[in-house]
Amino acid sequence: MTTRILSREMGNRAPGNRRSVFSRLGANRDLRLFLLVLPLLAFVVVTVMIPVGQFLYRAVDNDLLAENLKLTAASLADWSPDQGVPGEASFRALAHDIRNAREAGTLGQVAQALNQQITGVRNGFIKAAMLVDEPDAVTVEDLTRVIPALGEVPLWSLLKSAQSRWTDFYLLQSIDLERDQAGAIVNVPADRAIFRDIIWRTIAISVNVTLICILLSLPVAHVLANARPPWSGILLALVLFPLWTSLLVRTVSWIIILQGEGPVNATLLFLGLIEEPLRLVYTRGSLYIAMVQVLLPLMILSILSVLLKLPKELLRAATSLGANWWQGYWRVLLPLLSPGILTGSAIVFVFALGYYITPTLIGGPRDQMLSSYVAQFTNKTLNWGLAGALAVQLMALLLIAGLGWAAFRRLGRRS
């Protein structure tokens, strides 16, 4: 049908116009393909990109303070922290803003947002709502009595930040930084510095899980590639079995297996290898075991897909040319498997970075990863700004991992 239409079009047109016929046909084909994919694109945008974008926006969102502290921010336009506590006009402007926020029903949210940046001021702002029926009659002493932090510069610096709808406080806090009274970026005190350690811990756990998966997947992939039916199908089903089971069920099963009264400790005690149960669960080791069990099939399948395309005589040919088995494997076969290893590593590393259920249930207090803190600040403390900032750090790690994977792939193709 398409050939007849094309022939008719080409027969009715001069040879110089034949290229335009092909161009129109190609454009129509691209349009049809785009219309077929359009529902999927709309679904991804509505259900993924927009919600994620809104959540990440919380990391820099300062609209709540900007909308409810307009008068206070305006009164501090010419004020700087080195001038000390501002004058009575700023206190009176703050009293007006507190009353307006109370009437608008947003005072609790404003107090909570301020308390996330300066601990202990929330109750003071709630109490101040009972003093501001006549804002012009409120004195400096009245407000300072219920909000003692108003007698210090840091709170006023925070109130001045309401001049902007954007803030870098949460992004800086997510990497253990803050601004001092002069506005310079400095490290937070050592007793508050936790997020850099969490980020490095997340990276270290993800890298270690990826390396363990590579080491375990290579021999398994070779066995699967060389097995004959029906054993090949049985072994592949065993490899895929963890993917068919709920992640929560798999994690809880490891808690049962590794607990003090579990089968592992019971066996060791029965054999006389230990005198008392070992602490195997809620440790870094148990976390590695549970994560590797879940992610190992993804690495095996990535390597197996490449291995099945390679001739099985490669190692035999290398050894016939004088290389031993290890030299042939290292110099001949392993470089050819690098595309599968890189793909599997990228998949496993990205999945490991975002793990939440497994570290939360089976890891110890020092084994919690970045996603656990994102969930904590989202659901428990309701500090969505810091949760969004930590999510930005997680997205940055994913972007760096993606760029690294693309760079390795490109170098591999050139070589």
Q: For 280-312, how does the pLDDT look when each residue is reduced to its tens digit (9 = 90+)?
A: 888 899 999 999 998 999 999 999 999 988 888
In order of 71, 242, 243, 291, the CA distances from 297 in angstroms are 59, 8, 8, 11
User: In the prediction, which pLDDT does 20 show?
Assistant: 62
Burial state string for 264-294 with b = 16 or more CB within 10 A and e = fewer than 16: ebeebeeeeeeeeeeebbbbbebbbbbbbbb
Q: Tell which residue, 285, 253, 289, has the closest CA to residue 367.
A: 285
Distance CA 170, CA 174 (A): 6
Q: What is the pLDDT of residue 101?
A: 93
Instruction: Calculate what percentage of the chain has a pLDDT beyond 70.
Output: 93
- Name the nearest CA neighbour of 373 among 384, 109, 177: 384
pLDDT over 50 (residue 1): no
Q: From CA 241, how far away is CA 300, in angstroms rounded?
A: 13
The structure's pTM equals: 0.83
What was the pLDDT predicted at 302?
93
Average pLDDT over residues 33-51: 87
pLDDT of residue 9: 47
CB-count exposure of residue 215 (10 Å: 0-12, 13-18, 19+) = exposed
Tens of pLDDT, residue by residue over 252-262, are: 888 888 888 88
Asked if residue 22 has pLDDT above 60, the reply is no
Q: Is the pLDDT of residue 70 over 60?
A: yes
Average pLDDT on 180-205 reads 89
Segment among 57-66, 107-116, 202-211, 273-282 with least mean pLDDT: 273-282
Q: What is the mean pLDDT of residues 313-339?
A: 81
Instruction: Look at the block and give the residue holding tokens 């002069």.
Output: 182
- Start-to-end Cα distance in the chain: 45
Q: Does position 395 have pLDDT exceeding 80, yes or no?
A: yes
The average pLDDT across 66-95 equals 91
Residue 230 has pLDDT above 70, yes or no: yes
Q: Span 357-380, mean pLDDT?
A: 89
Q: What is the pLDDT of residue 24?
A: 62
383 closest CA partner among 119, 157, 202: 119
Q: What are the angstrom distances between the C-alpha of 334 and each of 148, 317, 323, 327?
A: 67, 15, 14, 10
Residue type at 17 in one-letter notation: N
What is the model's pLDDT at position 107? 93
Best CA proximity match to 390, nearest among 174, 79, 137: 174
Please report which helix (H) or strand (E) contains residue 89, including its range.
helix 88-104
Q: Token pair for residue 178? A: 């803050």
The answer to whether the CB of 301 falls within 8 A of the CB of 213 is no
User: Worst-scoring range by mean pLDDT, 13-27, 99-113, 291-305, 327-341?
Assistant: 13-27
Residue bearing the bigger pLDDT, 208 or 46 = 208
| Percent over 90 (pLDDT), the chain | 41
State residue 10's pLDDT score: 47
For residue 108, count other CB atoms closer than 10 A to its CB. 14
Which alpha helices (H) appear in 227-283, and where do they start and end? 231-240, 247-258, 263-270
